[in-house]
Chain A
Amino acid sequence: MAGKLDILARHPRSEDRLLAILHDLQEASPDNALTKDDLTLVADHLGLPLSRVHDAVTFYSMFSLRPRGRHVIRVCDSPHCHLEGAWSVLEELKRRLGIGEGETTGDGMFTLELSSCLGVCGVAPVMMVDDEMVGKLTPDKLQQVIDRYREGQ
């Protein structure tokens, strides 16, 4: 709680700070998601109705109200990655993690999402794990990345 108040204190009480505050709160959350309490805190801080904050949060794909895994994997499925075989990467990832799009693994480690173009098309197909970009994906490379994150934390 104290951590959250510190985050709020860093931001002036201005509506246009909304997305930046939500990013910071979500980043500090262990399950990569925002809670109803977070939304209430933000609404109070900015003097906005809770409904306004909820309205914004549910619009943007980078925010989640559902608890997510410790690591969020976002696979790019824009036309260029598609041309380079993103669909087979996605299917392979689903198979190896045993989950579908938008779902979280049983051990709470990974959540799988789709993303629009990540802008590193030179190394397609690409995915993003938290803040890390991983490119030129192959089935072998997928397993390496999964293993690295599982062992890492």
Chain B
Amino acid sequence: MRLARAHVLIGVDDEARLAGVEDVIRLMSTALEEAGLTDEVQLVETGTLGVSGHGVVLVVYPEGVYYGDVTPEDVPLIVEEHLLKGRPVGALRLPSAAPAVRPAQVYERQRRVVLRNCGLIDPGNIDEYVAAGGYEALGKALTQMSPEQVVAEVKNSGLRGRGGAGFPTGLKWEMVRRASGGPKYVVCNADEGEPGTFKDRLILEGDPHKLVESMILCGYACGAKQGYVYIRGEYTLSIERIERAIQQAREYGLLGEDIMGSGVTFDMEVRPGAGAYVCGEETSLLESLEGKRGWPRMRPPYPVTSGLWGKPTALNNVETLANVPEIIVGGSDWYKSLGTSACTGTKVYTILGHVRFPGLVEVEMGTPLRTLVYDLGGGLPEGRTLKAVLVGGAAGAFISPRALDVRMDYESLRDWAAALGSGAILVMDESACMVDMLGSVLRFFRHESCGQCVPCRAGTDRLVQLLDDIQRGLAAEGALEEMERLAAVMQVASLCPLGQSVILPLSTAVQSFREEFVSHMGGDGCTVCEQVREVAAR
């Protein structure tokens, strides 16, 4: 790698693309050339820099100066003032209070394992991944470890699935390894559809080779030769980046036959989804991967014995897999030192809504929700008060300010554990109406219910009707109780987690904000709901 005096890292993710990052990059490289700085300043396109809501974000090292909302017009100024004359452009700097801008302070609280390379390396360049220690875990596993030892290491690390259910990953791999019949498969669930969740997209966009390496490790450990990454059809940049990474890995002999001269064979392909939330459920995903409608299967049998094409299949979430190379290199004992004793490691979150600094963070398991909202999210804008936090997207839990000290790990969240997986943290101030927000969640479920089983198909529809009545002040007495009863029936009678999890947002919203529901039922005015109705009636 060429030595440079300064590095300009530009975060290229969907949000930056939407703000015109391509133009900024093009202008920046021309401006550097014109200023004769090409040899001194290196321009690096990287993944997300962890800042959300500020369009094109770039950081200049060695100073570590962050610029936000950068437009093409700003480029000459940055090049001339900062890169040529060494004077940072104050007007364009992100507020110095933003956590991402104070790495020292953030890294104190953040623990970057999964996101280690995100925002630091060029995701389109395999050499940069290798220079950052990439494919070291694969080399170690293939030359020094048996597949059983890889399984044992992952098992000992205590890693649990980050998709939602929290099933021990090592145990899953062992079950696939021991399952009879073959060929066996590795499938990565990148069908990230939970509202407010985009951590997997940022991992895929920011460090695609990490996923490729993890898939090969999983294949080696489980005895599978073929892998698939099932990605949401809407994630065009992720698909592009991972396909490029696969291509580069093939050219380097890291995919295909006789990987690194070890005699091990493994290859992988990308398969796009086509817009169905339910396909994030593992058996629906497998059906979809086989080219069918994404209807969930009855379980058991579980995918570990009967998955893709009825064969043993190791199905893992993107974030789960991204932990594996770190475990292999750092050792399971090191990994266990992170997080809590029952929930080891880290968790990636997206913090959104009424906070000062929305963005992507990674912290140790067991970090209190309060720390995430106030320290890493910067708290609410001045003069606003916290009303609720929706943790885990639509299939998540509404948490009231009173419960803010809850620790974020599978054990502490207990009943809400499923909400942990997605990592979506939506912060709401007093302007949000809980009845209206629950309505949005229920309409989402009605739209995404796949229609296969009756409790979910009919239940989601009836719940929306009941909530509409409550919102309009037309509900009969006992409507709330009927909703809770119905959701409880759906929890036990639905075929898959989609119908089963509706009770989570519903019961947490009703429990913590019952008065608000009751006042709607009494026909007392609600400014938010009135606004919604007025606009809808126009």
Interface residues of A (CB under 8 A from B): 15-20, 22-23, 46, 48, 52, 55-56, 58-63, 77-80, 82-83, 87-88, 91, 95, 114-124, 128, 131-135
Contacts and interface: CB of A to CB of B under 8 A. Distances in A.
A133 B358 CA distance: 19
Given A83-B437, A123-B15, A116 B274 contact: no
Contacts of A123: 15, 18-19, 52-53, 55
Contacts, number: 154
Contact of B291 (A19, A58, A114): A19
Nearest to A16: B291
Contacts of B289: 16
A31 B436 CA distance: 36
A120 B426 contact: no
B235 interface: yes
Contacts of B193: 116-117
Interface stretch (B130-138, B326-334, B443-451): B443-451
Given A79-B441, A87-B536, A122-B352, A23 B274 contact: yes
Contacts of A134: 18
Given A22-B274, A61-B275, A120-B15, A52 B292 contact: yes
Which residue of A60, A63, A117, A135 has the most chain B CB atoms within 10 A of its CB atom?
Answer: A117
Interface stretch (B89-97, B194-202, B298-306): B194-202
Which residue of B201, B393, B448 has the most chain A CB atoms within 10 A of its CB atom?
Answer: B393
Contact of A56 (B17, B201, B291): B291
A62 B191 CA distance: 14
Of all A-B residue pairs in the complex, the 10 with the closest CB atoms, nearest first, are A122-B52, A18-B291, A78-B195, A59-B293, A60-B274, A62-B275, A119-B198, A61-B275, A117-B195, A82-B440
A132 B20 CA distance: 11
Interface string B51-72: 0110100000000000000000
B290 A116 contact: no
Nearest to B432: A83
B197 A133 contact: no
A122 B291 CA distance: 33
A128 B291 contact: no
A130 B390 CA distance: 30
A6 to B, nearest CB: 19
Contacts of B276: 59-61
B350 interface: yes
Interface in B9-61: 14-15, 17-19, 52-53, 55
A116 B193 CA distance: 7
B275 A122 contact: no
Nearest to A126: B18
Contacts of A23: 233, 272, 274
B512 to A, nearest CB: 16
Contacts of B277: 116
A101 B295 CA distance: 25
B147 interface: no
Counting contact residues on chain B (CB < 8 A from A), the size range is 35 or more
B440 A78 contact: yes
Which residue of B18, B288, B290, B448 has the most chain A CB atoms within 10 A of its CB atom?
Answer: B18
B226 to A, nearest CB: 11
A52 B234 CA distance: 24
B271 interface: yes
Interface in B262-285: 271-277
Contacts of B390: 79
A132 B19 CA distance: 11
A98 to B, nearest CB: 13
Contacts of B236: 131
24 contacts: A16-B228, A17-B291, A19-B273, A23-B272, A23-B274, A52-B292, A59-B276, A59-B295, A60-B276, A61-B276, A62-B234, A62-B274, A63-B274, A78-B393, A78-B444, A79-B394, A82-B440, A95-B538, A116-B448, A120-B198, A121-B195, A121-B198, A121-B352, A133-B17
A56 B444 CA distance: 21
Contact of A79 (B232, B426, B532): B426
Interface string B411-432: 0000000000000101010001
Given A19-B271, A120-B14, A120-B15, A83 B426 contact: yes
Contacts of B393: 78-79, 117
Contacts of A63: 274-275
B161 to A, nearest CB: 20
B359 interface: yes
B292 A77 contact: no
B535 interface: yes
A117 B52 contact: no
Contact of B53 (A46, A122, A132): A122
A77 B288 CA distance: 24
Interface in B101-138: none
B353 interface: yes
Contact of B444 (A48, A116, A131): A116
B18 A79 contact: no
B196 to A, nearest CB: 5
A119 B291 contact: no
A14 B419 CA distance: 36
B384 to A, nearest CB: 13
B499 interface: no
Contacts of B291: 15-19, 46, 48, 56
Nearest to B360: A122
Contacts of A55: 292-293
B196 A62 contact: no
